[in-house]
Amino acid sequence: MTEEQLQVALKKFEGLVREQSERSDRIKAQKEFIDYDALDKIIIGVCGGDGIGPIITKESARVLKFMLADEVAAGKVEFRDIDGLTLENRVACGKAIPDDVLEELKACHVILKGPTTTPQAGGPVKNIESANVAMRRALDLFANVRPVKIKEQGIDWTFFRENTEGAYAVGSKGIHVDDDLAFDFVVATSEGTERIARMAYDYAKRNGKERVSIINKANVIKTTDGKFLNICKKVGEEYPEITTDEWYIDITTAKLIDEKRRRDFKVFILPNLYGDIITDEAAEFQGGVGTAGSANLGKRYAMFEAIHGSAPRMIQEGRGDYADPCSMLRATVMLLSHIGKQEKADLLERALDICMLEEKKYQITGRPDGATCQQFGDYVMETVKSLMK
């Protein structure tokens, strides 16, 4: 490393410190959560994304539009289709989210979003940042809430994944000091940690969950995970009726497959990267990532999506029409609940339980031996209609 390379690296690091300090100040200045009841109209943006995204989003948007038809007719809800969040568009303008698309997103309150493809570093496509990560940051969607439930096994988990900090905060701004030395950075702020912890504990309290588990690796990642752990524990002290425990991420991955112990877990709070990893593992017990939805919540905006990617292989192999819309439909349940339509959310959840777990008239396999995405969408629509009678 030359003296010049050192200075360049330090300058870049200085930039990151300034940027993150400003972000921390912005979090502190934030007001209360948006009150949907106080709005004249809730605007819901529908964004198909890439790969199987538009196919699975179409089915969930169809169900959502049907269930909110009265609200739309009364002018209380408006749907907006947002088309520009495709890989082609993003690569063409060299941005994770094109400016005009971001404007459209910001004009909504709530977004239903299909998966978007993220080009890999070193691949043939221009290396732009993940649209997910960029959207979470741009709309400050700090909580990624991912439920996993398996009734017959007594599993009822809700993951509160911190969604804007940790290894993701400056994930695409690591520093190559020279050819031999590279750094990535992990970021934790007090306010950023406190708000996710509070949301998880409030949820636990409201829903009668007796335990909150704080996941970390503070024995090694001492500074940021240590801060995360301490702040979460401090917030937990305000909820004496809830038992707090703390688990290192490595043993957590093991305990989730321990049939005797895993039922004890209820609510998890996790730094961003651990939350990313462990929610894929957790969803697998429930039937795979295709069955799991997720809510990305902030104070002003909320975005609902599948927990999986855009499955480009399915498209390449011509199997896109056989994609499973269940993750997006589960996300739709969370959307309805989030905007205060709890009865409708319960009804759709019931319909999905019937279609996915109980009656199972159509099975999705991802291949021509299974149902198509549209057939499954029809099935869910029929089931919703029969429950509404």
Per-residue contact string for residues 247-286; x = within reach of ligand IPM by CB under 6 A: -----------------------------x----------
Rule CB under 6 A: say whether 162 interacts with ligand IPM: no
The interface region with ligand IPM, picked from 23-31, 87-95, 130-138, 193-201 by CB under 6 A, is 130-138
What is the spatial distance between Cα 126 and Cα 123, in angstroms, rounded to a whole number?
Answer: 8
Partner whose footprint covers residue 118, from Mg ion, ligand IPM, none (CB < 5 to 8 Å by kind): ligand IPM
Rule CB under 6 A: say whether 130 interacts with ligand IPM: yes
Coil/strand/helix, residue 230: helix
Beta carbon nearer to ligand IPM, 132 or 213: 132
Partner whose footprint covers residue 45, from ligand IPM, Mg ion, none (CB < 5 to 8 Å by kind): none
Question: Residue 159 burial by CB count (10 A; 0-12/13-18/19+): exposed, middle or buried?
Answer: buried
Rule CB under 6 A: say whether 171 interacts with ligand IPM: no
Per-residue contact string for residues 271-290; x = within reach of Mg ion by CB under 5 A: -----x--------------
What is the spatial distance between Cα 267 and Cα 339, in angstroms, rounded to a whole number?
Answer: 22
Rule CB under 6 A: say whether 293 interacts with ligand IPM: no
What is the spatial distance between Cα 78 and Cα 137, in angstroms, rounded to a whole number?
Answer: 25
Rule CB under 6 A: say whether 118 interacts with ligand IPM: yes
Could you say which of 96, 133, 196, 356 contacts ligand IPM (CB under 6 A)? 133
**Which helix or strand (DSSP H or E) is residue 227 part of?**
helix 222-236
Residues 335-374 that bind Mg ion (CB under 5 A): none
Rule CB under 6 A: say whether 135 interacts with ligand IPM: no
Rule CB under 5 A: say whether 305 interacts with Mg ion: no
Partner whose footprint covers residue 133, from Mg ion, ligand IPM, none (CB < 5 to 8 Å by kind): ligand IPM
Task: Answer yes or no: are the C-beta atoms of 165 and 140 closer than 8 Å.
Answer: no
What is the spatial distance between Cα 16 and Cα 183, in angstroms, rounded to a whole number?
Answer: 12
Using alpha carbons, list the distances in angstroms from residue 188 to 53, 101, 166, 348: 32, 29, 6, 37
Per-residue contact string for residues 226-265; x = within reach of Mg ion by CB under 5 A: ----------------------------------------
The interface region with ligand IPM, picked from 126-134, 243-251, 330-338, 362-370 by CB under 6 A, is 126-134
Could you say which of 20, 132, 193, 327 contacts ligand IPM (CB under 6 A)? 132
Q: What is the DSSP string of 300-327?
A: S-EEEEESS---HHHHHTT-GGG---HH
The interface region with ligand IPM, picked from 50-58, 77-85, 106-114, 125-133 by CB under 6 A, is 125-133
Dmax (CA) for the chain in angstroms is 75
CA dihedral 366, 312, 58, 145 (to 10 degrees): 90
Contacts by 156-159, CB closer than 8 A, 24 or more apart:
156/266, 157/265, 157/266, 157/267, 157/268, 157/282, 158/203, 158/209, 158/266, 158/267, 158/268, 159/268, 159/270, 159/275, 159/278, 159/279, 159/282
Beta carbon nearer to ligand IPM, 247 or 274: 274
Rule CB under 5 A: say whether 225 interacts with Mg ion: no
What is the spatial distance between Cα 304 and Cα 115, in angstroms, rounded to a whole number?
Answer: 10
Closest CA to 80 of 53, 106, 98: 106
- Residue 173 tokens read as 């701004």
Beta carbon nearer to Mg ion, 172 or 243: 172
> For ligand IPM, how many residues bind (rule: CB under 6 A)?
7
Rule CB under 6 A: say whether 291 interacts with ligand IPM: no
Q: Which residue is nearest to ligand IPM (CB)?
A: 130
Task: Answer yes or no: are the C-beta atoms of 289 and 307 closer than 8 Å.
Answer: yes
Partner whose footprint covers residue 20, from Mg ion, ligand IPM, none (CB < 5 to 8 Å by kind): none
The interface region with ligand IPM, picked from 22-30, 103-111, 128-136, 358-366 by CB under 6 A, is 128-136
What is the spatial distance between Cα 51 and Cα 306, in angstroms, rounded to a whole number?
Answer: 13
Partner whose footprint covers residue 252, from ligand IPM, Mg ion, none (CB < 5 to 8 Å by kind): none
Closest CA to 139 of 93, 190, 82, 76: 82
Rule CB under 6 A: say whether 244 interacts with ligand IPM: no
> Using CB under 5 A as the criterion, which residues of the chain lie in contact with Mg ion when the complex forms?
276
Q: Which residues of the shown chain bind ligand IPM in the complex (CB under 6 A)?
A: 118, 130, 132-133, 276, 307, 309
